[in-house]
Amino acid sequence: MSSGDWIDDIEHEVSSVAQTRRDPDFVEGEDPARVRATADLLLADLANDWVKQKRRRRIGTWVFRILLLLLLLAIAAGLLMPLLSGAGSGEKSEPYTALISLSGPVFEGEEASAESLRNRLQDALEDDSAAGVILLVDSPGGSPVQAGLMYDDIVRLRNEFPEKPVHAVIGNMAASAGYYIASAADNIYANQASLVGSIGVRLDSFGAVDALQRLGLERRLLTAGEHKGLLDPFLPIDETATAHLQSVLDSVHQQFIDAVKAGRGERLSDDPILFTGLIWNGEQAVELGLIDELKDRYAVARDVIGAEEIKTFQPPKSLMERLSDELGAAIAKGVQPVVGLQ
């Protein structure tokens, strides 16, 4: 029964009792004094029931508030403990290798982006227990702007923390913008089958002028600026604009080449084929100086950095994501003893 139905029943009973007390003869065939006494007892019972119900509801409200407060305190403790642990102890924990994953296409808002890398790399290098950093690069490429920003951040932070090595380890591939990023590291490692290189720039388009003509369609485009429609696929090629775009691509390509040469230095082969956009496997990349050795992340942590334990620095999460994670962990921890999963 809902609280509304219960209140309606109470009001009905009280109304009946009130009617009886005002007019004892309302109950035919009964002694008026006895009827009045019975009505008084019933009214007292109803009043007691009302008080008990209010008390239960009040207790329930306070229990809910206390449980909610305890839950919020548990979440807050979970968020603050990583920040407070060791803050005032003055003790340095065992050295470890920091791992920063840069996986997927290089674009703003992705894991492989300047903002994501900058904060994690700064945190890793500032940690006294971090002996060095591994950048785990697994990317087919993406934005040259993001790659350039990430390259600059790696070089800047390496200069700020010269005592800590920053190495790149290639997963399945580090192509185009992915290799751009990796070339900023102290050393680059990969698997023998990893795909490496693709040092070039591309701009995709298509043309459908003949298709429109065959369909009897005419493209009508209004622009302000002689070459504003230079990439319109339904118009003939604008030779002047195309030449200009090629110069832009060549300039970005040269920026890429300069960055790779600065990062790799004398280790890089002088074969001009390196910068034609071709891609090589790990074994070939070693011969060309694109990478230093064939090693995975565990070998680099153990044999190069000298700290076998690896600690992963995850991309930053929003406050709601962190609260959600902590809430899920708190619920799971509370459920485990109940269902016997300890």
Active site residues: 176
Structure tokens belonging to residue 180: 């751009």
Q: Left (φ > 0), alpha (ψ -120 to 50) or beta: where does 235 sit?
A: beta
- Cα dist from 73 to 77, 258, 305, 321, 327, whole Å: 6, 53, 39, 17, 11
Q: Left (φ > 0), alpha (ψ -120 to 50) or beta: where does 180 sit?
A: alpha
Q: Indicate the length of the chain as a whole number.
A: 342
Which DSSP category does 142 fall into? B
Strand 195-197, strand 279-281: pairing: antiparallel
Alpha carbon 279 to its chain's center: 30
Of the candidates 224, 141, 150, the one whose C-alpha atom is nearest the C-alpha of residue 184 is 150
